[in-house]
Amino acid sequence: MIDPFEFSPWDFWTRADAAAHDRQRALLSGLGERPGHELGEGCFVSELASVDNDALRLGDRTYVAAGAYLTGSLRAGTDCSINPYAVVRGTVELGDGVRIGAHTSILGFNHTMSDPELPVFRQPLTAKGIRIGDDVWVGSHVVILDGVTVGDHSVLAAGAVVTKDVPAGAIVGGNPAKLLRWRIPPTGPRGDLGARLAAFADRARDQAGDVLDRSWEGSLFADRPGVAPTVRAQADAIEIADLLLGTAPPQAPLETQIERLRGWQDAATGRVPRLCSPAAEPDDPDVAYHVLSVGYALDLLDSGFAHPLTLVTASSAGEIASFVDGLPWGDRAWHAGHWVDALGTALLWSKRRGDALPTGIHESLLGWLVTHADPATGMWGPIGADGSRLQIVNGFYRASRGTFAQFGMPLPYPERVVDTVLAHVRDDRYFRPDRHDACNVLDVAHPLWLTRATGYRAEEVAATARRLLADALDRWVDGEGFGFRAPSRDDPSREASRPGLQGTEMWLATIWYLADLAGVSDALGYRPRGVHRPEPAPL
């Protein structure tokens, strides 16, 4: 019969008999004689554990239960426990009071796979190491990958797959792990903002169901009560549910939502018309935006368009260049960027579908943008005669989102983009707090995020992000979400200030970008995956 203390050694030294104590002391003595091994007072290592370390340090009262598998270099502090069948391999450091649940794997090394001709098991290993702070609870069946640092007082929920650093005091869970809430909220200037963001995100998640229910008309979503359902409202609901709930909207079966979106696409043109229109008018800006909104909504539902998008499949490279050249960059750069965004995203979906594309069409679109960017502003189109940069900044966001950002391409003049955006955000015509709207703030947040790797004017960028973020967080309306525009002291009753799905979807994404620029996005526990995804879209 196996001694139960082998699996539950917590009170071994107070309850086990003298003979068991003697066997354990002998085992510990033998381990301690190995080179690079050091064991503190009151430790326990099960006879049924596999301990094959190159270097091992266990602090006082640290226990290793039956079935545990230890290799590599492990340094553990005092009062740690490694529960049955846990795996701790590679270079791993544990602080004091780290409790590791059963069947957890902490893997402080990794295989390389750079040589496709060589089997993975024959390729070299790398080891960045894993560091876990003090007073950390690691639940059962958790996986922690190489290179991760876990902060003090944090909790890794059962089943979490931890691929990135965990801030001190955080409770994380899921695959990949993300912030669920705070065990100990951060403190200090950064911490205050982080705690405020975490509280906001908890509030938004708790109320996400109410926000969606409010706009559900029984069979379709409307942007808000009292207005007609739209195609975009269905897509916005899917984006909000994905961000806050991690699922499709629960108001309708998943299959129904997918079939509906795919069924609205015009088989002849690939475009999605308005609900109130029998045809997809080629110049309708809503129809152009449906390339993004419906396409990414389907993507979030693990589906895609049913038919080719003739916007790109039926156009030559020369026709695309001519079309972009004829857009109203001189006075309506936002409108021009809107169509470039649709073209770039149509290219993405066409590549995903495997549709035949005319030779050079992608290069034609990107090439036009590179060769026509203004070296003084980094953007397309002129500054307004009144000094306004609204059109070129908003147009830049739309055009760059669908091309450079979506395909992971470098911008031609990133530092000039920063200069232009920071000058624009000082314009009180648009950035007095009660004049903010989701479009204008997103259209500065995204370009600043897209250019962040330059490090140019980084402190000003972060300060701008914190200021805009603090204003945005105050505008959430319980059970309703965000209005597209901030309530205005000039017109407090304006319709666009009423909360709806569009405002909620856009502000949630904007808040993430601003928080990331301020270095505190991990407090939100969500990351955009749809239209506003920060990473290039996979092909």
Residue 305 in domain:
no
Rg (CA), the chain: 28
pLDDT of residue 491: 59
How far, in Å, CA of 157 to CA of 137, rounded?
8
Mean pLDDT of 514-521: 93
**Is the pLDDT assigned to residue 226 strictly greater than 60?**
yes
Those residues whose C-beta lies under 8 Å from the C-beta of residue 111, and which sit 6 or more positions away, are 120, 121, 123, 125
Residue 308 in domain:
no
Whether residues 211 and 62 share a domain: the answer is: no
pLDDT of residue 170: 87
**Is the pLDDT assigned to residue 493 strictly greater than 60?**
no
> Tell me, what DSSP letter sits at residue 403?
I
How far, in Å, CA of 413 to CA of 308, rounded?
34
Mean pLDDT of 180-204: 80
Q: Are 452 and 415 in contact (CB under 8 A)?
A: no
Could you report the per-residue pLDDT of 291-331, keeping only the tens digit for each? Answer: 999 999 999 999 999 999 999 999 999 999 999 999 999 99
CA 196 to chain centre: 18
Q: Coil, strand, or helix at residue 82? A: strand
Q: Coil, strand, or helix at residue 300? A: helix
> Tell me, what DSSP letter sits at residue 496?
G
The torsion angles phi and psi of 477, rounded to 5 degrees, stand at: -110, 125
Confidence of residue 245 (pLDDT cuts 50, 70, 90): very high
**DSSP string over 476-526:** -BTTTB-BSB---SS-TT-GGGSB-HHHHHHHHHHHHHHHHHTT-GGGT--
Whether residues 31 and 180 share a domain: the answer is: yes
The top-scoring range by mean pLDDT among 10-24, 295-309, 493-507 is: 295-309
Residue 302 in domain:
no
Confidence of residue 187 (pLDDT cuts 50, 70, 90): low
Residue with tokens 């940069």: 389
Whether residues 31 and 162 share a domain: the answer is: yes
Mean pLDDT of 109-131: 85
Whether residues 177 and 87 share a domain: the answer is: yes
Could you report the per-residue pLDDT of 147-175, keeping only the tens digit for each? Answer: 899 989 999 999 999 998 888 888 999 99
Could you report the per-residue pLDDT of 35-57, keeping only the tens digit for each? Answer: 999 999 999 999 999 999 999 99
Confidence of residue 181 (pLDDT cuts 50, 70, 90): confident
Percent of the chain with pLDDT over 90: 82
Residue 341 in domain:
no
Percent of the chain with pLDDT over 70: 97
Could you report the per-residue pLDDT of 137-154, keeping only the tens digit for each? Answer: 999 999 999 989 998 999
Mean pLDDT of 430-455: 95
pLDDT of residue 32: 92
How far, in Å, CA of 368 to CA of 370, rounded?
6
Whether residues 84 and 211 share a domain: the answer is: no
Residues counted in the chain: 539
For residue 6, count other CB atoms closer than 10 A to its CB: 18
CA-nearest of 223, 299, 215, 211 to 262 is: 299
Q: Which of 184, 206, 237 is the last residue of a domain?
A: 184
Whether residues 33 and 163 share a domain: the answer is: yes
Amino acid present at 457? R
Residue 291 in domain:
no
Whether residues 193 and 110 share a domain: the answer is: no
Q: Which H or E run includes 54?
A: strand 50-58
Residue 355 in domain:
no
Beta strands in 277-366 (DSSP E): none
Whether residues 88 and 206 share a domain: the answer is: no
Whether residues 206 and 78 share a domain: the answer is: no
Whether residues 139 and 206 share a domain: the answer is: no
Confidence of residue 128 (pLDDT cuts 50, 70, 90): confident
pLDDT of residue 492: 55
Whether residues 158 and 203 share a domain: the answer is: no
pLDDT of residue 286: 92
> How many domains are contained in the chain?
2
- Lowest-confidence pick of 56-60, 103-107, 281-285: 281-285
Q: Are 67 and 48 in contact (CB under 8 A)?
A: yes
CA-nearest of 299, 305, 326 to 238 is: 299
Could you report the per-residue pLDDT of 365-395, keeping only the tens digit for each? Answer: 999 999 999 999 999 999 999 999 999 999 9
Domain with 200 in it: 186-215+413-528
Q: Which H or E run includes 411?
A: none
pLDDT of residue 133: 93
**Is the pLDDT assigned to residue 490 strictly greater than 70?**
no
Could you report the per-residue pLDDT of 78-113, keeping only the tens digit for each? Answer: 999 999 999 999 999 999 999 999 999 999 998 887
**Is the pLDDT assigned to residue 509 strictly greater than 90?**
yes
Domain CATH code at residue 49: 2.160.10.10
Q: Are 381 and 395 in contact (CB under 8 A)?
A: yes
How far, in Å, CA of 443 to CA of 73, rounded?
48
**Is the pLDDT assigned to residue 263 strictly greater than 90?**
yes
pLDDT of residue 112: 80
Confidence of residue 190 (pLDDT cuts 50, 70, 90): low
Residue 456 in domain:
yes
pLDDT of residue 195: 84
pLDDT of residue 52: 95
Whether residues 155 and 194 share a domain: the answer is: no
How far, in Å, CA of 407 to CA of 402, rounded?
8
Q: Are 197 and 466 in contact (CB under 8 A)?
A: no
Residue 329 in domain:
no
pLDDT of residue 522: 87
Could you report the per-residue pLDDT of 65-74, keeping only the tens digit for each? Answer: 999 999 999 9
